[in-house]
Amino acid sequence: MSVAIRLFLVVLLAVCTVARAQEPDSYSLQPAFPHLSFKRPLALVDPMDGTNRLFVVEQAGRIFVFENNANAQKAKLFLDIRERVNSRGNEEGLLGLAFHPRYGKNGFVFVNYTASNPRRTVIARFRVNSRNPDAADPGSEVKLLEFPQPYENHNGGEVLFGPDGYLYIGTGDGGSGGDPHNNGQSLATLLGKILRIDVDHPDPGRAYGVPPDNPFAGTSNRAEIWAYGLRNPWRFSFDPATGTLWAGDVGQDAIEEVDIIEKGKNYGWRIMEGNACFNPSTGCDTTGLVRPVWDYSHDTAGVCITGGYVYRGTKLPELAGAYIYADYGSGRVWALRHDGIHPPSNRELLHSGFPIASFGMDSRKEIYLCVFDGKIYSLAKTK
């Protein structure tokens, strides 16, 4: 073998070694609780009360509780309100669950569900059974807020307490297609928004209060509004480390987007879909509109974004600080990094092929995925 050929082979080996060293990590979805199965699970919530329990919401109107243990054998029925929930439409049902920040003391549970006659969204509070911490009292319901839904789709569904102790509520634009009533841009309706209310200090004449620093408090607009111009913010979450509010806003026919939600901001729908004009289709006025942190096309990546969480756990340290989200249609899962200074970077972690409906986070800040095959999964590194 000539010296030249040997040198070529040495260089080639070095290049291949570097290439292997730089290959991205591979990930997979692993059943987090192999012995448990649910019907259309679309939320997993930790009450953060020190009891090491997790709660899973089924779309039809049931909530189950079980120990946060991979060997958990059985989930107990915590609340069944199927007779009150309208889940006939694909996007209707029991859609969200939140525990009061002082749940360990007051036992208050908050839900977001759709109801019939008339079609509407209900934000309600229940109380845990005083004799059984694994059961809520179905007769304790207090309806805090109700608003009409003109169609069966785009109901939003998230309810979430922020670091400020207020309850944040995600609402879709009311449905149909293309936001025919322009609800996203209207400050006279609660649809197409993220709302913020005070559940501890109700205003006279209603079951909740409006925080005085809400952007439209004291105006002729709906004072509950925190941010607007959203199409269907199905899932959003606060970064446990920074308090930043991240949302996945489901698109119309072409584009899905990730937004960082801030007080009083307009996120563009129906003027824009992602970074593109929607109504009108060209030459739209983008003055004052907040662009998404990231968007992707239906032609390349997926058709229905599922908002997730910024990872702050310890099992996957290489993902620390990345926003983990997915697409319901394609089953892809990504890690998005954005510090507000450098251009964002987005990396696909895996292509699962599963219909990923939602994410959850436990008290250890580990992330779970709710999948419509009935299982709850965790993200695992495979190499």
We report the CATH number of the domain holding residue 230 as: 2.120.10.30
Q: What is the pLDDT of residues 279-323, one digit of tens each?
A: 999 999 999 999 999 999 999 999 999 999 999 999 999 999 999
Is 22 a member of any domain?
no
d(CA 189, CA 19): 54
pLDDT above 90 (res 8): no
Long-range contacts at 151-154 (CB < 8 A, ≥ 24 apart): 151/119, 151/175, 151/176, 152/88, 152/89, 152/90, 152/91, 152/92, 152/119, 153/89, 153/90, 153/91, 153/232, 154/91, 154/231, 154/232, 154/250
Give a yes or no: residue 294 inside a domain: yes
Q: Is residue 340 included in any domain, yes or no?
A: no
Number of neighbours of residue 110 by Cβ within 10 angstroms = 22
- How far apart CA 192 and CA 41 sit, in angstroms, is 24
The total of structural domains in the chain comes to 1
Domain that holds residue 46: 30-311
pTM for this predicted structure? 0.93
SS3 category, 291: coil
Q: How far apart are CA 233 and CA 210, in angstroms?
A: 21
SS3 label, residue 107: coil
Please say whether the beta carbons of 25 and 381 come within 8 A: yes
Q: Give residue 13's pLDDT.
A: 34
Residue at 4 is within a domain: no
Q: What's the rounded mean pLDDT across residues 342-367?
A: 97
The mean pLDDT of 166-174, rounded to a whole number, is: 98
Domain-located, residue 201: yes
Mean pLDDT is lowest, of 12-26, 42-56, 291-305, 334-348, for 12-26
What single-letter amino acid sits at 232?
A: N
Residue 360 domain-assigned (yes or no)? no
Question: What is the residue type of 185?
Answer: Q
Three-state secondary-structure class, residue 13: helix
